[in-house]
């Protein structure tokens, strides 16, 4: 059963947690707080939001308690994650998913937060949102206009469905076609890390969305082949790639003659489902906010991504 969170209104409280990596830029954190307060929202930060333990935002138990306590907190209407990094995997098996189900809230993030987005939906039915991070995106001196517009378009009081997403800036159709399905996925490395575990989302009949950052071409190729060999591409109804940004350079001239689009086209070109590349929703500055777990119509040839189901109550 799908659980849809309530709409966000001016004056509501937004909670901020750090379930993954540690916040490194305190000034950006303060910028983000001011950004939301200026827009008319209250901001409540978790007790351990600025904790650090190596590459983690503090102890696993503290990151878990912050997450669960903010879902318990009736004052909080939406939860944003400070940044990605790594750490969500470490708390997946300990989360009280009944608590999430019984206290639905808007929950937003991307990158490492993919693990939480997928499993809140898989294990509690909560519709989640792939979208900007509190510090990484809203903490900049100037928030990207596309990112900002998409975020408030989804959560603003005037939100209506069906809702078309703007055409991507550099979009490529790899396999033309049209399909309908629930949109699921996120960061490629995270999805591959979940494969074979009880926390891998069921992708049968769904439109799979993938993105990543800072990976060399051979690793992107290997991870996509892992999904292909694992039968994932045989289950899905459509495949939509965001940009693979900041691809690591190689000393190999043969590799540098390739582009991510070549890798993706080679691996997905023989699929019998709609496939497109370039939706701005990855690690680049411009990123769309979209609901995970609700149904969309996807036309890969002309790029049309349209919500066909309500995502808020």
pLDDT tens by residue, 205-245: 999 999 999 999 999 999 999 999 999 999 999 999 998 98
Is residue 176 domain-shared with residue 139, that is, in the same domain? Answer: no
Is residue 158, in this structure, part of any structural domain at all?
A: no
Instruction: Identify whether 283 is a catalytic site residue.
Output: yes
| CATH number of the domain encompassing residue 285 | 3.50.30.60
Is residue 281 domain-shared with residue 211, that is, in the same domain? Answer: yes
Domains in the chain, number: 2
Is residue 128 domain-shared with residue 205, that is, in the same domain? Answer: no
| CATH number of the domain encompassing residue 103 | 3.40.50.10740
Residue 53 has pLDDT above 60, yes or no: yes
Is residue 177 domain-shared with residue 299, that is, in the same domain? Answer: yes
Is residue 253 domain-shared with residue 136, that is, in the same domain? Answer: no
**Tokens of residue 264, six digits:** 């993706």
Across the chain, mean pLDDT equals 94
Is residue 312, in this structure, part of any structural domain at all?
A: no
Task: Say what the pLDDT of residue 224 is.
Answer: 97
Percentage of residues in the chain having pLDDT higher than 70: 95
Q: How far is the C-alpha of 298 from the C-alpha of 223, rounded, in Å?
A: 24
pLDDT in tens, 90-108: 999 999 999 999 999 999 9
What is the extent of the structural domain holding 17? 13-143
Neighbours of 35 (CB within 10 A): 18
Is residue 28 domain-shared with residue 137, that is, in the same domain? Answer: yes
Cβ atoms of 101 and 120 closer than 8 Å: no
pLDDT mean over 60-75: 98
Instruction: Single out the catalytic residue among 111, 136, 150, 237.
Output: 111
Task: Say what the pLDDT of residue 254 is.
Answer: 47
Residue 257 has pLDDT above 60, yes or no: no
Task: Say what the pLDDT of residue 162 is.
Answer: 60
Q: How far is the C-alpha of 264 from the C-alpha of 254, rounded, in Å?
A: 17
Is residue 280 domain-shared with residue 229, that is, in the same domain? Answer: yes
Cβ atoms of 289 and 138 closer than 8 Å: no
Supply the DSSP string of 264-301, one letter for each residue: HHHHHTT-SS-EEEEES-SSSS----EEESSEEEEETT
Residue 253 has pLDDT above 60, yes or no: no
Is residue 83, in this structure, part of any structural domain at all?
A: yes
Is residue 119 domain-shared with residue 179, that is, in the same domain? Answer: no
Task: Say what the pLDDT of residue 166 is.
Answer: 87
Cβ atoms of 16 and 78 closer than 8 Å: no
Is residue 80 domain-shared with residue 192, that is, in the same domain? Answer: no
Is residue 234, in this structure, part of any structural domain at all?
A: yes
Task: Say what the pLDDT of residue 293 is.
Answer: 98
Instruction: Single out the catalytic residue among 48, 62, 130, 283.
Output: 283
Q: Which residue has the higher pLDDT, 43 or 270?
A: 43
Is residue 49, in this structure, part of any structural domain at all?
A: yes
Q: Which residue has the higher pLDDT, 250 or 85?
A: 85
Is residue 313, in this structure, part of any structural domain at all?
A: no
Instruction: Identify whether 48 is a catalytic site residue.
Output: no
Q: How far is the C-alpha of 45 from the C-alpha of 16, rounded, in Å?
A: 5
Is residue 29 domain-shared with residue 119, that is, in the same domain? Answer: yes
Cβ atoms of 305 and 242 closer than 8 Å: no
Is residue 33, in this structure, part of any structural domain at all?
A: yes
Q: Which residue has the higher pLDDT, 264 or 162?
A: 264
Is residue 157, in this structure, part of any structural domain at all?
A: no
Q: How far is the C-alpha of 188 from the C-alpha of 241, rounded, in Å?
A: 10
Task: Say what the pLDDT of residue 159 is.
Answer: 52
pLDDT in tens, 137-147: 999 999 999 99
Q: How far is the C-alpha of 220 from the C-alpha of 269, rounded, in Å?
A: 16
Instruction: Identify whether 65 is a catalytic site residue.
Output: no
Is residue 130 domain-shared with residue 178, that is, in the same domain? Answer: no
Instruction: Single out the catalytic residue among 130, 136, 182, 211.
Output: 211
CA angle, 274 then 146 then 164, to 5°: 40
Q: Where are the beta strands (DSSP E) in 219-280?
A: 238-245, 275-279
Cβ atoms of 179 and 69 closer than 8 Å: no
Is residue 39 domain-shared with residue 111, that is, in the same domain? Answer: yes
**Tokens of residue 27, six digits:** 């000034």
* pTM (2 d.p.): 0.95
Q: How far is the C-alpha of 247 from the C-alpha of 83, rounded, in Å?
A: 20
pLDDT band at 158 (very low <50, low <70, confident <90, very high): low
């Amino acid at each position: 059963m799908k659980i849809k969170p309530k709409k966000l209104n001016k004056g509501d409280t937004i909670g901020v947690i750090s379930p993954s990596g540690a916040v490194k830029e305190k000034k950006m954190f303060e910028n983000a707080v001011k950004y939301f307060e200026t827009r008319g929202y209250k901001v409540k930060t978790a007790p351990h939001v600025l904790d650090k333990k190596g590459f983690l935002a503090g102890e696993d138990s503290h990151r878990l308690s912050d997450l669960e306590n903010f879902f318990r907190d009736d004052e909080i209407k939406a939860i944003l994650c400070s940044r990605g990094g790594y750490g969500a995997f470490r708390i997946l098996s300990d989360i009280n998913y009944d608590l999430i189900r019984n206290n639905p809230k808007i929950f937003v993030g991307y990158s490492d937060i993919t693990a939480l987005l997928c499993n809140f939906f898989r294990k509690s039915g909560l519709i989640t949102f792939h979208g900007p991070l509190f510090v990484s995106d809203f903490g900049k001196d100037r928030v990207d206009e596309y990112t900002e517009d998409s975020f408030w378009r989804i959560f603003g009081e005037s939100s209506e469905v069906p809702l078309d997403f703007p055409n991507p800036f550099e979009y490529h159709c790899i396999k033309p076609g049209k399909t309908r399905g629930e949109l699921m996925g996120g960061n490629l490395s995270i999805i591959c890390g979940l494969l074979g575990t009880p926390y891998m989302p069921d992708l049968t009949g769904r439109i799979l969305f993938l993105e990543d950052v800072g990976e060399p071409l051979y690793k992107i190729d290997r991870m996509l082949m892992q999904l292909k060999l694992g039968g994932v591409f045989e289950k899905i109804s459509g495949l939509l790639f965001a940009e693979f940004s900041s691809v690591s350079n190689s000393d190999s001239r043969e590799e540098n003659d390739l582009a991510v689009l070549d890798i993706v086209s080679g691996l997905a070109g023989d699929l019998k489902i709609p496939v497109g590349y370039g939706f701005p929703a990855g690690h680049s500055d411009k990123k769309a906010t979209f609901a995970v777990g609700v149904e969309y119509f996807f036309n890969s040839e002309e790029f049309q991504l349209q919500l066909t189901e309500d995502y808020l109550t």
